[in-house]
Amino acid sequence: MVRKTIENFSIYQICDSGQCFRMTPIHGETDPASGEIRMQVIAGDRYLEILQNGKECMFDCTEEEFEGFWKEYFDLETDYASYIAQINPNDTYLLNAAAFGSGMRILRQDLWEMIVSFLISQQNNIPRIRKCIENICREYGEKKENAKGQTYYAFPKPEALAGLDEDALKACNLGYRSKYVVRSARSIVCGEIDLDAIRNMSYKKAKEELLKLFGVGVKVADCICLFALHHLQAFPVDTHIHQAMETHYKRGFPKRRYKGVEGVLQQYIFYYELAGTPLETGKRSKRLNRFL
């Protein structure tokens, strides 16, 4: 067990921020009204449980695993207060959004997992995306066991999906997105797309390469760049962000002012538009079911 006191970190806000889909509250052990939250996280083939109460966090793993993986995964060495401090004091909307989602962090997630996740996210909502990913992991991922002896499933490798019929993943409720995932897996396995090369590219080059994948458009490419490659200048525009731009930034978001951290501020806006009320009160908004 690793204990840490962390500023600007809310595992509950991150869970419902639309950037990760294998993070879920542990039923019967989470009481948001009291401030105590227990969450399970599956990243790739790793499993973690976190207990958080205010700024106090307990990570149920060894110190070695925390230092070698989870600290970077949660981007814990970054000072997010410094991002909030950069906000124009006259921009009341953005200040409110950042205050509302001040526990948000941009996770450093696996590139392949994010490609699949955001291919699935198109014209979809968060509960359904989670279910789709759970289905493909259970069907095609490696069966694993956590420290409690409970079964979970690793995220399937491209090789596990590349040989499937293009419509095979419809059985996992992916619908028309099945062919997007299967064809992307084939592109990676046959060497048309080199994930290792993409990991070392600039934001512009990485985005260009991701757009070569079947089914990946500009918004999905930006999501992958932000949540997998940690290119913080990526600014994905979905229905929530588009709505916010039309209402609060008719002349466009001031990206020049926030150069290099636009993606962090985008995530504050996204979460503000998505959730509507603080999740810590236990009042989960119906807007969580809106399309991404």
Angle between helices 111-120 and 126-140 (to 10 degrees): 130
219 classed as catalytic: yes
Distance of CA 186 to the CA centre of its chain: 24
Contacts of 82 (CB under 8 A, 6+ apart): none
Q: Name the residue type at position 46.
A: R
Edge-to-edge strand list for the sheet holding 56-59: 2-5, 56-59, 46-53, 36-43, 23-25
**Structure token digits, residue 155:** 């995220």
Where would I find the H helices in the chain? Answer: 11-15, 63-65, 71-73, 80-85, 92-100, 111-120, 126-140, 158-162, 178-189, 195-199, 203-210, 218-227, 239-248, 262-275
* Helical (H) or strand (E) element with 144: strand 143-145
Which member of 55, 131, 179, 219 is catalytic?
219
For 16-66, give the DSSP string. Answer: TSSS-SSEEE-TTS-BGGGTEEEEEEEETTEEEEEEEETTEEEESS-HHHI
Provide the annotated active-site residues: 219
